[in-house]
Structure 1
Amino acid sequence: MTAFRRVYGAHPLHLLTLIAGFALFGYVIVTLGLPALWNPRTWWQSIVVWFVAAVVVHDLVLFPLYALADRILAFSQRISAPVPVVNHLRVPAVGSALTFLVFSPGILEQGAPAYTAATGLTQEPFLGRWLLLVAAMFGASAAVYAVRLATTRRSTALPT
């Protein structure tokens, strides 16, 4: 095991995961076929273009932004507090980002004619409902933080 780590540089499970990922990628290519991944008539609708754009946007824009936000949160941990606040901000922020990512077409009212034709409804309530969900996530996190803070103060105030 140590010889493998010395040669490869990581645990064998890492190599197994990489092989499984590439096997899954190969299966998708074989199943969908290359014409499904690249559409020469409308190139911007190709899966390959969207995948490369997602990688570039994530690596060059989003990752630096949320790494900076996390550094700011980590810096706030240096302030002495009985209960660290960092995870009480991280969890609802990640939940907000993921729900926005999943429901962004509805929130941004993209594809409104198709949505109205399929359901008979409009996409107007999506933004308000998402904002309520975000407020509820941060509110629940704040309530959990307040309870933890109160129990921590109470337990430190009690004589042992």
Structure 2
Amino acid sequence: MGWFRRFYGENPLHLLALLGCFALVGAAVLALYPNPSALTIAIWFAAAVIGHDLVLYPLYALADRSLVLTRWVRRRVSSRPVTVAATNHLRLPVLGSVLLGLIWFPTISGGGAGVLFFAAGLPPAIDYVTRWLLVTAVLFLASAVLYAVRLGRAAVRST
């Protein structure tokens, strides 16, 4: 197996996983090929990949770097050591809120009101923006409570 790793550069399982991914993409392409809107789907997919890789990824990488930089600055300025990092206590609620916002964006923005009325015969009586903001607040509150508990445990442990 050493010759394979020197030739390929990775474990054989990596190649197997990569071939499986290519097979899955091939099956998806073959399933979409006879579809008349396949070109529209391909354009949407390419735009999503470009939008993520060229716009969104640099933005949230920059936001994450700013969190890490503030932790580094706090370590340099403060005489007390950082016992519990707040970075992940901010990352997780932001990720949950953004993910919920992206998944439910048509409903939150009110764009799906006609579909809801057509499918269920119900007018959109629920304010989804308020509920999304409430879920976001609960995520941040739960994360803050967990952070406070971890800080308390670290303070008790250090004394």
TM-score range, shorter chain: 0.7 to 0.9
Q: Which runs of 5+ in 1 are unaligned?
A: 40-45
**Counterpart code for 1:21:** C
Aligned length: 151
Q: How many Å separate the matches in 2 of 1:49 and 1:124? A: 34
CA contact (8 A) 2:93 2:139 kept: yes
> Structure 2 length normalisation: TM-score?
0.86
Deviation at 1:36, TM superposition (A): 4.6
Q: Which runs of 5+ in 2 are unaligned?
A: 76-81
Q: Which runs of 4+ in 1 moved over 6 A?
A: none
Deviations 1:7-27 (A, max 9, x none): 222222221111111101111
Q: How many Å separate the matches in 1 of 2:56 and 2:141? A: 25
What residue in structure 1 maps to residue 15 of structure 2? 15
Q: How many Å separate the matches in 2 of 1:28 and 1:54? A: 17
Residue 51 of structure 1 aligns to a residue in which SS?
helix
Q: How many Å separate the matches in 1 of 2:71 and 2:2? A: 37
> Structure 1 length normalisation: TM-score?
0.86
What residue in structure 2 maps to residue 38 of structure 1? 38
> In the alignment, does 2:75 pair up with 1:77?
no
Higher relative contact order (CA 8 A, sep 6+): 2
What residue in structure 2 maps to residue 42 of structure 1? none
Root-mean-square deviation (CA, aligned residues, Å) is: 1.7
What residue in structure 1 maps to residue 78 of structure 2? none
Q: Alignment partner for residue 121 of structure 1, among 104, 107, 123? A: 123
Instruction: Give the percent of matched residue pairs that are identical in Structure 1 and Structure 2.
Output: 44
CA change 1:36–1:53 in 2 (3 A) is: same
What residue in structure 2 maps to residue 90 of structure 1? 91
**Counterpart code for 2:140:** F
